[in-house]
Structure 1
């Protein structure tokens, strides 16, 4: 269930309440006249089944409530109410399958913004992966994958393509490209420093690496895994199952490929650098394609569900 807190101009309250009352899956409607001061208006509270939430929010925005008042949405962790249970039964579909597009856009906006923290996480993840590829240590590779924050901008690109948000697409693309370039540049410096300290050597990079040699050898399996990971990651974001995102992060070769490219470049190995960059781009492309396709499928499904609900009502 979702909890909506609305600030509504007094002359629009009846209209807003009418929209809420006709939405299948809403309950616990409360109206407090004149309770709001900034902006001035009435306070309207209600709960709505997650699967009906996106439609209700879209209808409220269509009334301009986001401009003349306020729409705040919170997840309800526990709701002990027979009325709430009935609202969830009445709403179409399953809550776990529902997509809240406004929430998705807000989340990807935050995660896809180029910031010092984002670059720092990506650079640190790439440096950890650099240690992993030189030492041929799979544990370090997995750890680096989990630390990398690159799925945020990738999800932002997918969302922007589906929702036709050019500004979000540009912001996400900038964060992705600049972030990886900065991380790789810093990792080149890190590799040179480790070489000067005698911790990295040319022989370690070009020796037998059964655990990490795949990061500079792209193939069709890399593309297939990227597609599967892109679909799984998108589903984890839209269904609020963020725990699954960790599994997605450690299944694709993005950060390790960037790390291997940086280390190889520091030793002048253009062959490994080229192969690693190809691996990186292949995985990024696969994630974007699968993520976009997943969002398009979800959007079509819920549009159909909404039309069906309208006919039933």
Structure 2
């Protein structure tokens, strides 16, 4: 379930309560009159099953509550009551399959912000990948994959395209367009310093065999990117963040960027172009799979909403004399 905390101006309280009173899937409805100071009005709280939350939030927005008041959403880890059971029965569907689109947009918008933290994580990941390449260490490369934060902007692009939010898609694109060059520049600088101080040499790139997959993309590279993109978007829409770790480990984005940066310093242009192609394949594959996955999820949401509407009408007709 999800918990909604609503700050409702006095003039909207009656309309909001009327909506919540007839909405399926709502439980534990409370109102504290005059508790909200900014905006001045009432505090209304409720729990709603996940499969009904998205539509309810949209209707609250249509009432003007998001502009005149506030809608705050948080997850409910455990709810034990007869009201919870009744709410689950009222709203057909399966909670893990349900999507709260406003929450997805908010999460991807936050994760795709071009910030110092994002640049720091991406740079550290690229540096780790560069070290893994020099040492021919797959373990270090995997560590770089886990540290990399690039899936957030990729998810933002996918969500922005499917939800027609051009600002969100543009934000993700700009973050990637700035982040990867910055991270690669720092990695190339570190490789240059390492070469000048004797820590690394060009011969080490020629002899690595454990990490050569990074600059040798193929059809399976695209397949992996597509599968990872689909899994990542399902994880994002369902709120199952643990699955994202597997996505990070499976895609060769940060390792390719790190490899290209190091190979550039040593003039290994074949490896540079191979790594760049690997990076491009993974980025495009993840976005394409993300868009397709979101499209399917969205269609499923529309079908489920129509079915819920038919059930509601059927129940109403049985009650009529």
TM over 0.5: yes
Q: Deviations over 1:22-47 (max 9, x none)?
A: 22111111122222111001111111
TM superposition shift of 1:84: 0.5
- 2:159 alignment counterpart: 159
Q: How does 1:202-281 map to 2 (within 5 A)?
A: 202-207=202-207, 209-281=208-280
SS of 2:250's partner is coil
Q: Deviations over 1:247-288 (max 9, x none)?
A: 110000000000110011001122111110000000000000
- 1:50 alignment counterpart: 50
SS of 1:73's partner is strand
Q: How does 1:75-224 map to 2 (within 5 A)?
A: 75-207=75-207, 209-224=208-223
TM superposition shift of 1:197: 2.3
Aligned residues: 312
- State which drifts further: 20-29 or 276-285: 20-29
- 1:37 alignment counterpart: 37
- 1:294 alignment counterpart: 293
SS of 1:229's partner is helix
TM superposition shift of 1:225: 0.3
Q: Give 5+ residue unaligned stretches, structure 1.
A: none
TM-score if structure 2 supplies the norm length?
A: 0.95
TM-score if structure 1 supplies the norm length?
A: 0.98
Q: Deviations over 1:77-101 (max 9, x none)?
A: 1211121022123222111111111
Cα distance in structure 2, aligned partners of 1:311 and 1:31: 31
Cα distance in structure 1, aligned partners of 2:21 and 2:191: 62
Cα distance in structure 2, aligned partners of 1:242 and 1:21: 33
Q: Give 5+ residue unaligned stretches, structure 2.
A: 313-321
